[in-house]
Structure 1
Amino acid sequence: MTRRLLILGSLVLILGLSARFGSDLWSKPGDSRISFEEPSGTTSGPMTVYLHRPDTWRAQDGRILVVLHGDDRDAKGVRDAWRAVAERYGFLLVAPEFSKTKFPGTRWYDLGNGTDEARHPQPPGEWTFYALDRAVDAARRATGAASERFKLYGFSSGGQFAHRYLLLTGAPRADLVVSGSPGWYTLPVADRAFPVGLGGEPVSEQARRAALSHPFVIHLGEDDTNPRDDFGIPSGEQSEIAPQGTHRFARGWYFYEASRKEADRLGVPFAWKVVTAPGVGHVVGGLAQHAARTVLEP
């Protein structure tokens, strides 16, 4: 009888701790991988998320950093490149994998399925952008993270996704959005059709005002100047994108200046900035290390 009472008491204690701290009771520091059912993409089905939990991170008050891979779709590699940053600042690192099978080509990843192949706008419920929020929530369930908020860093194609995520959804849960050396940009204007501008998408002037006032960083490698780089520009938009510049560094500055002018025209505070990394080309690790010292410094 006494033994049964002791076992019952232990179970009650464990359940009580689990209720208080969530799955944090069971999760361990270090690298891990999870999957969840994601409805968006060419087919419904599982989506993989790579995680790194620092020793110092705690579910009840720990911060979350989401990093997005480039066109290589190497979520594990981008997680590994950012691991030291996560350890330094105590971020739970979340790296969703937008696989080429589930999210093929620029339409489903870079452009977030904002339009179909014929450039017909897709309803927000079909956008890929919301897969990001669902990936964060899957990571929160796996780790017991209390906070719904996060910082977002997208590299290359991930940087294209990140700035369009801000422009089309408003990024309401992101304290900061960073686009690291994307190939090209969607301008925050309504008089040019998506993906060159926001025309045709359900983005109001009020939403554009809010996006221009949201903390956002264009992070550029100063040596990212290869004019023969593959920017992933759809063939139908090449002539309209050409004025942005001949390489990633120039295009980042063009986007910044065009967006600043739009903020001035709308009469709203412009919260965006450009941060450049000396001696860094189109390298995820180099940008990550620079971002740790500049963009993400508390």
Structure 2
Amino acid sequence: MKNSLSILVCCILLCFSLILNSCSDDSVVSSNNPEILNELTSGSGFFEYSEYAPFSNKVMKVYYYIPSNTNSNTEILFVFHGNGRNAKDYRDAMITKANQYNFIVITPEFSGANFPGGDAYNLGNVFVDGDNPSPSSLNTEAEWTFSVIEPLFDYITQNINNNSLTYQVFGHSAGGQVAHRFLMYKPNARYDKVVASASGWYTVTDLEVSFPYGFTESPLETSILENLFQKKLFIQVGSLDNNPNASSLRHNIFADAQGLNRLDRAQYFYNKASVLAETNNLEFHWELHIKEGADHNFEIASKNAADLIFN
């Protein structure tokens, strides 16, 4: 009798737990199979994208989260993952905020197979060897990793019947590098706000330093600074993201000229741009946000970024 009662109690508790989980906004279960994206798609999952010509022989996984109460005008946020290439984790980190502010999360997976190394991801595949740029090794713009985003945005809006004319961008760590260089290399793209979070190092608005640390010897030499500084760029970093020995943090004379840790380098990047804008009497819309008590945690950074963009 006592054993039967124990089994009954366990069953009730299990059922109650399952009910709670099914009601939670944050516990949407992702399928292991790709979805066919359409206007009825909701919840979390991924689809396969291969319609962008230069990458037609490759299949890209794109993770998404679409809240249940979206409409044709719901905003879209692109999330750029870190060097771990863990797009699904970055998607999941945004679900709570997506429900709070009602926006769609799109997290492309820039896998190591399709976008190998820092040249093809962090540096956007602008050059064959981004650390040693030369006119002969400059890839065509169609081959840039940055060139994936605009046609992907069109693909998504068309398939889910979304009328958004612009999108938002958040990238953290290696993704923060992608985000700020995407803004620079694609000045006519349809992004509205860009959050570059906790980049390991930066391409600084400096015409005396060669790419990838500055603008010279790259297409950025012809950038119109007036247009660049009018972009809504948020440079985000945690006050505790100040470890000079952090894993994967680049150290050489060029990177260390920006500071010895991510906190110092974020401040250097912002200050160089701010001084340049002031010197040339240019309107300046960039903002530096230092989150007190935060370290390099991408989940914390994701929530902070969503607040900056949507609150």
TM tier relative to shorter chain: 0.7 to 0.9
C-alpha distance in 1 between matches for 2:305 and 2:233: 13
For residues 172-209 of structure 1, the C-alpha deviation after alignment (integer angstroms, 9 at most, x for no partner) is 31110110101000012333221111212223555332
| Selected match of 2:101 from 67, 89, 92 | 89
Q: Please state if 1:45 is matched with 2:58.
A: yes
Alignment match of 2:288 (pick from 274, 278, 282)? 274
1:122-271 to 2 correspondences below 5 Å: 122-170=139-187, 172-203=189-220, 205=222, 207-231=224-248, 233=250, 238-271=252-285
Per-residue deviation, 1:232: 5.3
Alpha-carbon distance in structure 2 between the residues aligned to 1:222 and 1:194? 27
Counterpart amino acid of residue 49 in structure 2: F
* CA–CA distance in structure 1, aligned partners of residues 180 and 151 of structure 2: 18
Q: CA separation of 1:197/1:44 partners in 2, compared to 1, >3 Å: closer, same or farther?
A: farther
1:40–1:127 Cα contact (<8 Å) kept: no
* Alpha-carbon separation, structure 2, partners of 1:276 and 1:171: 28
Tell me the amino acid that sits aligned with residue 81 of structure 2: H
CA gap of 1:148–1:32, structure 2 versus 1, over 3 A, is: farther
Give the aligned residue type for 2:226: R
Contact 1:70 1:157 in 2 (8 A): yes
**Residues 53-75 of structure 1 deviation map (CA, whole Å, 9 limit, x = unaligned):** 011211x2111111110000011
Q: Partner amino acid for 1:285?
A: E
CA 1:148/1:40 → structure 2, altered by over 3 Å: closer, same or farther?
farther
Q: How far is the alpha carbon of 1:148 from its aligned partner?
A: 3.4
Consecutive unaligned residues of structure 2, counting only runs of 5 or more, are 1-36
Counterpart of 1:11? none
- Return closer, same or farther for 1:207/1:40 CA change in 2, 3 Å cut-off: farther
Report the counterpart of residue 305 of structure 2 in structure 1: 291
Deviation digits for residues 272-298 of structure 1 (CA, Å, limit 9, x no counterpart): 0111212111111111222333x1243
Equivalent residue for 1:31, pick from 40, 44, 67: 44
What amino acid is the match of 1:126?
Answer: E
Cα deviation, residue 136, structure 1: 2.2
Shift of 1:271: 0.6
Contact 2:236 2:288 in 1 (8 A): yes
| 1:292 to 1:206, Cα distance in 2 relative to 1, 3 A | closer
Q: How does 1:12-23 map to 2 (within 5 A)?
A: 23=38
Question: What code does the residue aligned with 1:93 have?
Answer: V
Distance 2:53 2:86 in 1: 21
8 Å CA contact retained: 1:96, 1:135: no
**Conservation of the 8 A alpha-carbon contact between 1:50 and 1:97:** yes
Cα distance in 2 for partners of 1:98, 1:171 equals 22
Give the conservation status (yes or no) of the 8 Å contact 2:123–2:177: yes
CA distance in structure 1 between the partners assigned to 2:197 and 2:227 by the alignment: 21
Asked whether the equivalents of residues 213 and 272 of structure 1 are also in contact (C-alpha less than 8 Å), the reply is yes
- Does the Cα contact within 8 Å between 1:209 and 1:266 map onto a contact in 2? no
| TM-score of the two chains, using structure 2 as the length reference | 0.81
Any conservation in 2 of the 1:187–1:258 contact (CA below 8 Å)?
yes
| Alignment RMSD (CA, Å) | 2.0
Equivalent residue of 1:138, what SS? Answer: helix
The answer to whether structure 1 residue 109 and structure 2 residue 126 are counterparts is no
User: Alignment identity in percent?
Assistant: 28
Q: Paired residues, what number?
A: 269
Unaligned residue ranges in structure 1 (runs of 5+): 1-21
Structure 1 residues 276 and 40: CA distance shift in structure 2, 3 A: farther
Q: Mark the CA change 1:132 to 1:215 in structure 2 (over 3 Å): closer, same or farther.
A: same
**Structure 2 CA distance for aligned equivalents of residues 228 and 274 of structure 1:** 23
Deviation at 1:171, TM superposition (A): 5.3
